[in-house]
Amino acid sequence: MNKKLALVLYKYFPYGGLQKDFMEIAKELLSRGNSLKVYTRSWEGEFPDDLEIIQLGETGISNYSKNKKFIKKAFKALEDFEPDIIFGFNKMPGLDLYFAADTCFAFQSQSKPFLQKYTRRFRQSIKYEEEVFSRNVSTKTLLLNNKQLNEFSKFYSTPSNRMTLVPPGIDRNWSTYKPINIRERLSIPPEDKVLLFVGSDFSRKGLDRAILALSYLFKKKKSATLIVIGDDDQAPYKKLLQQESLDKKVSFIGPSQEVASFMKSADLLIHPAREEAAGNIIIEAIVSGLPSVVTESVGFSSEVLKHQSGEVLKGEFNQDNFNLLVADTLADQKLSVIKESIHNLSDCDYFFSRFKYIADYIENEF
């Protein structure tokens, strides 16, 4: 039986991981004849012809006030639509289903400055998380990995029948992209190893850590170039590059639709994120046959270990240890071993099954 779904998220822009998941889930649900309306504060990029999008505006000065006012307006607008399911992609009260693209805020807050816990934004984040995971609500949640499951269970004792693990999911077209000649396009010396950093939140994804790892390689006379794909303020990182005398060893590409081609042409993905609920780029790298070095804070670091697709820096982050791990992984023999272990995974159904799985779940559970 076809259903009416309201899809609710704060912001849409084409290159965000959450936003990519949202779009693929919406496409799958539409392909099955369901009726969808999207409620969001703002929308960047193209408007799909078959998806009704309601922009409610960026009302308020702080994120605290924008979130609060958006939720009030969205649920007022929902009264006219009368959906069967309110499907949220950000934590907020009143959801029937939540797609957990975020980490557990309560868990992450343990390492935050004490006074931060008295801010309105902090209290709102905790409150909205409780409205999704508390034992006293009925919201069902779709989780991306066991790391999330363990953290949310620890803090909220959410009943297990409300929490469902979903498989990874990337666009099936990923495997159709072809490699490109990175060295020719970006004038990279032939002896350089090509490191790839992908992410549009440079601080959270650890670009500074990646640059310091590149500096270590430079000081050890190991030739390498870093390519940065993503949309964020470059100024602080260009200042760091000047301090480390690496201006000519880093190329900022900006947002790109050629990520798959870059992955199939680089030597190593480095993803030293401070916080990452899942990290789809880890799956994208595996499917692309690209070795990776990631931090344990990345949810899909477990996939790196499972498929022997690279190295994981375990425990609390240490820059020296990360530098050594990157240098060790870049050895030709090590790269060859990793590539051999993942060369046949490009068409593995497991990596592409998230969106079908979620649509099946919705049909069966609601």
pLDDT tens, residue by residue, 202-259: 999 999 999 999 999 999 999 999 999 999 999 999 999 999 999 999 999 999 999 9
Which residues constitute the domain of residue 235? 172-349
Find the CATH number of the domain harbouring 26. Answer: 3.40.50.2000
What is the predicted pLDDT for the residue at 150?
94
Is 80 exceeded by the pLDDT of residue 280?
A: yes
What is the predicted pLDDT for the residue at 166?
97
**Average pLDDT over all residues of the chain:** 94
In this structure, what is the dihedral angle of CA atoms 312, 317, 318, 319, given to the nearest 10 degrees? 80
Is 80 exceeded by the pLDDT of residue 144?
A: yes
Contact 162, 141 (CB under 8 A): yes
Which residues, 6 or more positions from 114, have their beta carbon under 8 angstroms from its beta carbon?
A: none
Residues 179 and 312 in one domain: yes
- In sequence order, the β-bridge partners of residue 86 are 6
d(CA 256, CA 125): 31
Q: What is the pTM (predicted TM-score) of this model?
A: 0.88
Residues 251 and 161 in one domain: no
Using CA of residue 189, residue 198, residue 150, residue 24, what is the dihedral sign? Answer: negative
Residues 143 and 83 in one domain: yes
What is the predicted pLDDT for the residue at 190?
93
Contact 275, 199 (CB under 8 A): no
Residues 82 and 156 in one domain: yes
Residues 287 and 331 in one domain: yes
Q: Render pLDDT for 46-69 as a digit per residue (tens, 0 to 9).
A: 999 899 999 999 888 888 899 999
User: Could you tell me where the DSSP H helices lie in 255-318?
Assistant: 259-263, 280-288, 301-307
Q: How many CB atoms lie within 10 A of CB 252?
A: 18
Question: Residue 169: exposed, middle, or buried by beta-carbon count in 10 A (0-12, 13-18, 19+)?
Answer: buried
Residues 238 and 96 in one domain: no
- Closest by alpha carbon to 231, among 76, 23, 19? 19
Is 80 exceeded by the pLDDT of residue 116?
A: no
Residues 272 and 161 in one domain: no
Residues 177 and 326 in one domain: yes
Residues 182 and 158 in one domain: no
Name the domain count of the chain.
2
Residues 163 and 203 in one domain: no
Residues 207 and 344 in one domain: yes
State the pLDDT confidence band at 325, using cuts at 50, 70 and 90: very high
State the pLDDT confidence band at 294, using cuts at 50, 70 and 90: very high
Is 90 exceeded by the pLDDT of residue 143?
A: yes
Residues 323 and 183 in one domain: yes
What is the predicted pLDDT for the residue at 121?
87
d(CA 289, CA 341): 9
